[in-house]
Amino acid sequence: MSEWEIPVSALSCAGCGKGFSAGEGHYSFLYEEPKGFRRLDYCQTCRAGAKEPFFSFWKTTRAEEEKKPLVADDVLLNFFLRLVETEEKKDFLYVLALALERRRVLKRIGQGKEILELELAKDKRRFQISMPQLGEEAISTLTEEVGRLLEGSLTESEGSL
């Protein structure tokens, strides 16, 4: 463990109290105290008012907030598992499997010319998914369907599923 423990950035300016928005630059000042370091963050306007002496300072940026998917992984996984059991909509199943692989719910363990082998990360169940030969129009349609599913606007009552 390091002897240098630096507190995380504050969400607002120590001078005026204005909150920092995602992507906004601000200045962090470290002050040495008997029990470690104290960090104070200042906006561009208030940084001139930072008290001296300080140990160190730097310009930083508030991180962008992580975008959460509109549909939870477990909802997509349940839909995937139902499609695997029915063996219907193989083209859609393939695209959904790729989406789950991208979200790291499924892990690719092998691939042949016609079969994609995947493993469920949490319990190691294995699946073999047919790799369809899709034309541009089919790819476009499937992409729209998966997009609507991920937005939460696609229901089973719609004709395509």
pLDDT, tens digit, 9 for 90 and up, residues 30-63: 999 998 899 999 999 999 999 999 999 999 998 8
pLDDT confidence of residue 158? 44
pTM of the model: 0.51
Domain boundaries, the chain: 1-67, 73-151
pLDDT confidence of residue 156? 44
pLDDT confidence of residue 70? 67
The mean per-residue pLDDT over the stretch 64-84 comes to 81
Q: Is the pLDDT of residue 119 over 90?
A: yes
Instruction: Enumerate residues 6+ apart whose C-beta is below 8 A from 99.
Output: 76, 146, 150
Instruction: Enumerate residues 6+ apart whose C-beta is below 8 A from 78.
Output: none
Whether 83 contacts 93, CB under 8 Å? yes
Q: Is the pLDDT of residue 154 over 60?
A: no
Q: How many CA atoms lie within 13 A of 90 on its CB side?
A: 12
pLDDT confidence tier of residue 125, bands split at 50, 70 and 90: very high
